């Protein structure tokens, strides 16, 4: 009984990692689509979102089946419930990559991102990638110390967002209101992406802490 439970939980864990890797690729492509005004990459992100959503549904359904058939309690149950939350956060991160790609597509063949903020978005993309890479390691190895590093990187994403505002609100901003709106929304999407990475790390920390306490 316990072995079936843990085998299935491992299988679900692999699906979570698979989902996180899809999200990582989506945000990497979305950032490249944005920085290079690359329509093809934007379309790839927009076309790929359904498979992330499908993975989330499968993870949730299998967690549901585990609860229904194995009746886990205490820490075991917390692991399953945390996995359901975690999949929801990853799905949302996929949605945010989708939103970034949508703005890139909307402005094509123009660049949505003017030259002055390009470097900031490049850094945001790098932080986003570093975050999801760490998320995958945390979920895979359940490394709590890495989870703390994720919180620090979330702070640097917030700092990058503040930098965007400084540039857009300076007197030298010559790209008008439409570009300011795009930059505002894009900044928000990267910030939320980082927030959800933190949420995934926290769910995982909770799983590990629970396991240690058990």
Q: How far is the CB of 40 from a second copy (least distance, A)?
A: 27
Q: Among 13-21, 60-68, 107-115, 142-150, which window interacts with a second copy (CB under 8 A)? A: 60-68
Q: How far is the CB of 49 from a second copy (least distance, A)?
A: 16
Identify the residue among 15, 17, 18, 81 touching a second copy (CB under 8 A): 81
Distance CA 117, CA 133 (A): 24
Q: How far is the CB of 122 from a second copy (least distance, A)?
A: 21
Cβ proximity to a second copy: between 126 and 195 the closer is 195
Identify the residue among 8, 188, 208, 210 touching a second copy (CB under 8 A): 188
Taking residues 141 to 180 in sequence order and writing x for each that binds a second copy by CB under 8 A, - otherwise, the string is: ------------------------x--xx---x---xx-x
Own/partner pairs, 13-16, CB within 8 angstroms, 24+ separation: 13/83, 13/139, 13/140, 15/55, 15/58, 15/59, 15/62, 16/59, 16/83, 16/86, 16/87, 16/90, 16/139
Report the greatest alpha carbon distance in the chain. Answer: 67
Q: Is 184 in the site for a second copy (CB under 8 A)?
A: yes
Q: Is 4 in the site for a second copy (CB under 8 A)?
A: no
Q: Which residues contact 194 (CB under 8 A, 6 or more apart)?
A: 127, 128, 131, 153, 154, 157, 158
What Å distances lie between residue 65 and 3, 19, 31, 182, 211, CA to CA?
15, 19, 37, 42, 21
Q: Is 64 in the site for a second copy (CB under 8 A)?
A: yes
Residues 89-128 that bind a second copy (CB under 8 A): none
Q: What angle do CA 178, 179, 185 make, to 5 degrees?
A: 95
Q: Tokens at residue 38, please?
A: 């690359």
Identify the residue among 4, 11, 50, 74 touching a second copy (CB under 8 A): 74
Angle between helices 115-141 and 144-169 (to 10 degrees): 170
Q: Is 17 in the site for a second copy (CB under 8 A)?
A: no
Cβ proximity to a second copy: between 120 and 146 the closer is 120
Point out which residues bind a second copy (CB under 8 A): 60, 64, 67-68, 71, 73-74, 77-78, 81, 84-85, 88, 165, 168-169, 173, 177-178, 180-181, 184-185, 188
């Amino acid at each position: 009984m316990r072995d079936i439970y843990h085998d299935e939980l491992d299988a679900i864990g692999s699906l979570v990692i698979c989902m996180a890797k899809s999200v990582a690729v989506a945000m990497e492509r979305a950032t490249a689509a944005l920085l290079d005004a690359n329509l093809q990459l934007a379309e790839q992100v927009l076309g790929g979102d359904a498979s992330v959503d499908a993975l989330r549904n499968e993870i949730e359904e299998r967690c549901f089946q585990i609860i229904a058939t194995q009746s886990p309690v205490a820490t075991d149950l917390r692991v399953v419930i945390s996995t359901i939350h975690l999949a929801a956060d990853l799905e949302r991160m996929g949605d945010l990559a989708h939103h970034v790609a949508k703005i890139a597509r909307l402005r094509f063949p123009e660049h949505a991102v003017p030259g002055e903020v390009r470097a900031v978005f490049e850094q945001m993309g790098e932080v986003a990638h570093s975050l999801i890479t760490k998320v995958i390691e945390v979920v895979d190895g359940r490394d709590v110390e890495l989870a703390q590093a994720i919180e620090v990187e979330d702070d640097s994403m917030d700092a990058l967002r503040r930098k965007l505002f400084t540039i857009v609100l300076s007197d030298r901003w010559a790209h008008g209101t439409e570009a300011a709106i795009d930059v505002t929304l894009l900044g928000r999407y990267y910030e939320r992406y980082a927030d959800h990475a933190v949420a995934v790390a926290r769910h995982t920390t909770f799983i590990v802490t629970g396991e240690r306490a058990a």
